[in-house]
Every structure is written in C-alpha cells, then in structure tokens.
Amino acid sequence: MLVRRTFDPYLALIVAAVTMVVARGASWGQQDTREALDAYAYALLWTGPVAVLLSRRFPLLTTAAALAACDLYLIGGYAYGPSFISPAVLLFLLVTRGHRLMAWVMAGMTLVSFLSYAWLVGQLDFFHNVWILTFIMLLMVLAELVRIVKERRAERERTAEEEARRQASEERLTMAQELHDVLAHNISLIHVQASTGLHLIDANPEQARTALATIKTASKEVLGEMRSVLNVLREGAPRSPTAGLDRLDELVERSGLTVTLKRVGSRPLPPQVERAAYRIVQESLTNAARHAPGADVGVRLEYAEKELVVRVTDTGATTPPAPSESLSESGSGNGIPGMRERAAALGGTLVAGPSGPGFQVEARFPLPEETS
C-alpha cells in the first residue's frame, strides 16, 4: 500500500504534463474555432491532476470534481481534448481500485454531460454521439480487463503464499516427528544400556563398559541429530541430510543387539520412503532392546520393482530385563501405532505381531516406476 501511495504523485505529474502539452497543441490547432487558453482555463485543467493526486482518499469527490471542471472547460469554449484526460484516468482508477459501481455510475454521468453539451451547442450528429459512447465504453471495458488481470495475479500470489505456508507447516511437522523419533530411540537406548550397566557393573565390568560406550555414542548421536533438526528452524539455515537406509550399519552398530542385516536387490528410493523405512527399523530395534534383551534380530530389506519390504524379526528374550527395566518404565506403547502411521502416510502398510517365540514387524511401501 505504501508503494502504491508513493506512485500517486508521479501519476498526477504525468497527467498534468500530458494535459498541458495536449492543451497547448489543441489550442494552437483550434485557434480559429475555440477560445484561447487563459488563467481560468488553466485552473480548470489543473483541477484534474490535483484530483488524481487525491483520488485514493476521496474517489467519488475527486472524480466528480474532475468531471465538473471538464464540463466548465467545454462550456467556456476552450479547445477540445485536454479536459478529457483527467476524467478518463479517474474512471479507470475507480474500476481498477475496486469501486466498480461508482465507476459505472460516474461513466454514465460523463456520457450524459457530454451529450448534454453537444445538444446545447447544436452538435446533434448521430455519429458524434456514437463516438462518445464508444470511447467511454472502450475505456470502461479496458479498465475491467485490467482489474480482472490484477485480481487473478493477486489470487495467484495468495495461493502461492498459502502453499508456501502449508509446505512450511508440513516441514515443521516432519521435523517434529523426526526429533521425536530421534529422542525416543536414543533415550530408550541410553536407558536400556544404563540399566544393563548398573546391573552388571559388579558381576561383569567388561559388559558394563560396553554399555557405557554405547551410552556415550547414543548421547553424541542424539545431540548431533537434534542440532541438525533444530538448525532448520533458523532463517536460511541449510538442512542436513536426514537419516536414510545408507546409515543402517551405524544404527545396527550402536543398538547393542546382535543384528543380521540383509539387503535383497537395490534401487533408488524416494527420500520420504528412505526416511520412513529407517525410522521403522530404528523403532523396531528400540523395542527389541527394550522388550527382548539378548535376542538375535534380523533386518531384511527387499527392493522389489513396485514396493520396498522392510522386515525386522527377533528371536525373543534370552535374558531377563535389568531390574530397573520394569513394564511401567518401558515406554508409552506408541511405537507400533507411530510406525503404522508412517507407513500409511506413504500409502503403505505395516503389520506387527508375535512370530514364534519372538516378534516381527513388516512394512511395505509402494514405489514409483524407475526412470531410465
């Protein structure tokens, strides 16, 4: 709005300059048939540019004043031409600024005033009157077309802004989910390993040392991932690559479990599928460490032509959980529903349940056709 208001004085100066140039030329060309310009004529001509300058604040009053000045200029017998410029500009501005009803009413009044003047001076020529009507109609139609273009452009800009806000909201939701998963996995891992370390610190110091080393790695990992996700919230900060299946080896290594990782086939995956598959494996390993200590875990990735299959299976607990790892401390129980939501969001499915003495999680993600 400030930019538009700043442009108003320049528009008024342009209208004033054009009006004065046209007035001088028209007066010279019609000096034999029309009155010469005097102070009164110049005062009437300057009414138009002043009206343009104030038109945004007083749209109806300024348009009426410019039309009245135009009529008085014609009645004074001065040269045709320059007095029409300001009313035409003001009618155009009324339409493009949204005052359509007012603009069309003022256009009708302009037509009546011009025809009335023609009748007063005896210019009852049919074609002359048709020319006046045609000119006013063309002006108004052009103004309406410009208004439509402006409104459509504004609508596109609003749509683009809404889409940008929607994408930003979805990105923040994704980051929140990423942060939740990272915290849940690593803190659960730290909790399990700390309980194990406390339980074995006297009877098996070496295994307790391994648990402490895992805690150190997991805490460093969670701090790094938190920093990576939170940096995105800073204006203009680049986003670090999110966790993908290429980092499964690191995940398996720090899980503290005996894990067999097997990949069947290979193909590029959409980033969102990679992220969801990684998080499902991560949550499954967390659950295995929490509920099936000592179990052997198998992670199998099958890259089919039309789907990715992620299967995590454990053989069941072989050692009792550490004393502090009671059922009440084992988590909120939202792990499987969260995994199922991740799969469903990408059009996939997730099935989780007992498998022999252990437990199995199987997720299937549909994949787009590979492009050559």
Collect all residues with Cβ–Cβ distance below 8 Å to 74 and sequence separation of at least 6: 80, 83, 117
Collect all residues with Cβ–Cβ distance below 8 Å to 67 and sequence separation of at least 6: 87, 106, 109, 110, 113
E strands within the chain? Answer: 258-264, 296-303, 307-314, 349-355, 358-366
Give the pair of three-digit tokens for residue 156. 């596109």
Measured from the Cβ of residue 5, the count of other Cβ atoms closer than 10 Å reads 10
Return phi, psi of residue 323, to 5°.
-55, -40
d(C-alpha 370, C-alpha 259), whole Å = 30
Average pLDDT for 138-142: 90
Q: Inform me whether the pLDDT recorded for 350 exceeds 60.
A: yes
Q: Inform me whether the pLDDT recorded for 124 exceeds 60.
A: yes
Average pLDDT for 240-257: 75
Collect all residues with Cβ–Cβ distance below 8 Å to 87 and sequence separation of at least 6: 48, 63, 66, 67, 70, 110
What pLDDT shows up at residue 309?
93
d(C-alpha 94, C-alpha 61), whole Å = 12
Return phi, psi of residue 314, to 5°.
-120, 160
Q: Which of residues 91 and 167 earns the better pLDDT score? A: 91
Angle at which helix 85-96 crosses helix 100-120, to 10 degrees, equals: 160
Q: Inform me whether the pLDDT recorded for 352 exceeds 80.
A: yes
- The reply to whether CATH 3.30.565.10 applies to domain 162-366 is yes
What pLDDT shows up at residue 334?
56
User: Which percentage of the chain shows pLDDT scores above 90?
Assistant: 15
The structural domains of the chain, with segments of one domain joined by +, span 2-124, 162-366
Return phi, psi of residue 77, to 5°.
80, 20
Average pLDDT for 169-175: 71
User: 198-205: long-range contacts (C-beta < 8 A, 24 or more apart)?
Assistant: 198/322, 198/324, 199/322, 199/323, 199/324
d(C-alpha 158, C-alpha 172), whole Å = 21
Q: Inform me whether the pLDDT recorded for 312 exceeds 90.
A: yes
Three-state secondary structure call for residue 240: coil
Query: Are 51 and 66 contacting, i.e. CB atoms less than 8 angstroms apart?
Result: yes
pLDDT digit string, tens, across residues 25-65: 888 888 778 888 889 988 998 998 999 898 888 988 998 99
Sheet containing strand 358-366, edge to edge, reads 258-264, 296-303, 307-314, 358-366, 349-355
What pLDDT shows up at residue 328?
36
Confidence of residue 332 (pLDDT cuts 50, 70, 90): very low
Angle at which helix 335-345 crosses helix 271-291, to 10 degrees, equals: 170
Q: Inform me whether the pLDDT recorded for 98 exceeds 90.
A: no
What pLDDT shows up at residue 2?
47
**Residue listed under structure tokens 């598959």:** 277
Q: Which of residues 201 and 1 earns the better pLDDT score? A: 201
